Amino acid sequence: MAGSLALGAAACMQPALAAESVVQAPMAQRTADEGNGLKTAIFAGGCFWGVEAVFSHTKGVTSAVSGYHGDTERSAKYDIVSSGVTDHAEAVKVTYDPSVIRYDQLLRIYFSVITDPTQLNRQGPDRGAHYRSALVPMSAEQNEVAKAYIAQLKAAKVWDKPIVTRIERAQAFYPAETYHQDFAQKNPNHGYIVRWDAPKVAALKRMYPGVYSASFQRN
């Protein structure tokens, strides 16, 4: 992955040496109350392939779209974002049914198996601010739940290092190029997927079998 500026454009393309560890994050004390109807939220947590893969195997999620968040439409292109010159993060826009899976439950999955919230401007082998760990609430309720959960995690000292996951203001979300969508499902033997993202999906199944879906929710 992008260990230097020279490798920046190779983002999400090189296989890594080992998979990340997972953490059993606690249940949220502040549960989300979002009413009826489908809701959306944006999650950034490293290469969007893995973020999308985990949420695409989560019951109640009706769509998980890889894309870019944080900068302009003009700069929302993979080669530009991967170079590290934009304010975009690789992110996933998740649409879900809160009667099946609540926002606070999505947060628990995110912190348990998707992101290491102690890594600043990186995730695993991926380096750069475009790989930052960030939550983008799309409503006041999501914002309050996200703030409360991060405070809960900090107080519980789940990790030995400080949590650096950011809560960012919602801006326009730009879907990534077509070949990035459903990437893990279409490319199960890709080196990066095998080493980094398939273990995350396996962890979801093992740790949260009640919300794991064997089928992949394609876009």
Instruction: Tell me, yes or no, if 47 is annotated catalytic.
Output: yes
Say if residues 198 and 22 touch (Cβ distance below 8 Å): no
Of 47, 145, 176, 198, which one is the catalytic site residue?
Answer: 47
Distance separating alpha carbons of residues 1 and 215, to the nearest angstrom: 28
The β-bridge partners of 126 are 123
CB of 128 closer than 8 Å to CB of 122: yes
Q: How many CB atoms lie within 10 A of CB 24?
A: 12
Regarding beta strands 39-45 and 61-69, do their DSSP bridges make them parallel or antiparallel, or are they unpaired?
unpaired
∠100-104-107 over CA atoms, to 5°? 110
Ordered DSSP codes for 152-204: HHHHHT-SSSPP--EE-----EEEPPGGGTTHHHH-TT-HHIIIIIHHHHHHH
> Is 6 in a helix, a strand, or coil?
helix
Catalytic residue ranges: 47
